[in-house]
Amino acid sequence: MRQRATETERNKERTLHSCSMQRIDGEGNERKFILSFSSEQPYERWWGIEILDHGEAAVDLTRLNDMGCLLFNHNRDAVIGKVNRAWIENNRGCAEVEFDTDEQSEIVYQKVRSGTLKGVSVGYRIDSIEEVMAGKTSADGRFTGPCEIARKWWPFEISIVSVPADGTVGVGREAERKSMPLDIAERQLQINKNFYNGGKK
């Protein structure tokens, strides 16, 4: 029997790990990349399965488009670029990012350019959740429980990360003090360290 998460626990900052970065070639555009930062891939958190809805009006991209920053390992003091634009396409969150030219940004940029760094992550908050019980279907008929679907959520930063929780699509989060399965805890250890080292606590 799974444990229920409280509303406070659900609304802590979360990180979703994704992949796929495509460099924009052309004069003056060599520091720009197109990447995906989120999807509807189910992911097992300690309380159950979480899904980020990417349907119409589910994702509020206002903050990313107005003031979105590109960070390294979720460190808010390690701003390495900007989010030029963000959009939803084929049930995925996509963005065009551009690296800065200072020394710190250049180091990360060169590692991304060479393929050494491939992990992408997004920090986000959830405003509304639909809980779907085991064997039941979500209100829109798209998902089968047990799961919790983020129906209203908003991303606030995109990060290039060195150690994502999952090499393809997965979820990590700010350190949780509740009990969680050992395998999930181990996968999240590095990300939790990144949050603390980045000044989030």
Q: Residue ranges of the domains in the chain?
A: 7-197
- Residue 116 binned pLDDT confidence (cut-offs 50, 70, 90): confident
| pLDDT the model gives residue 185 | 38
Mean pLDDT, rounded, of the chain? 75
Owner of token pair 């444990």: 3
For 150-162, give one letter per residue: b (16+ CB within 10 A) or e: bbebbbebbbbbe
Q: Indicate the pTM of the whole model.
A: 0.70
Based on C-alpha coordinates, what's the Rg of the chain? 17
- Residue 121 binned pLDDT confidence (cut-offs 50, 70, 90): confident
Task: For residue 177, give the amino acid letter.
Answer: R
pLDDT digits 0-9 by tens, 45-94: 888 899 999 998 999 999 999 999 999 998 999 999 999 999 999 888 99
Cα 143 to chain centroid, rounded:
20
By the 8 A CB rule, do 152 and 131 touch?
no
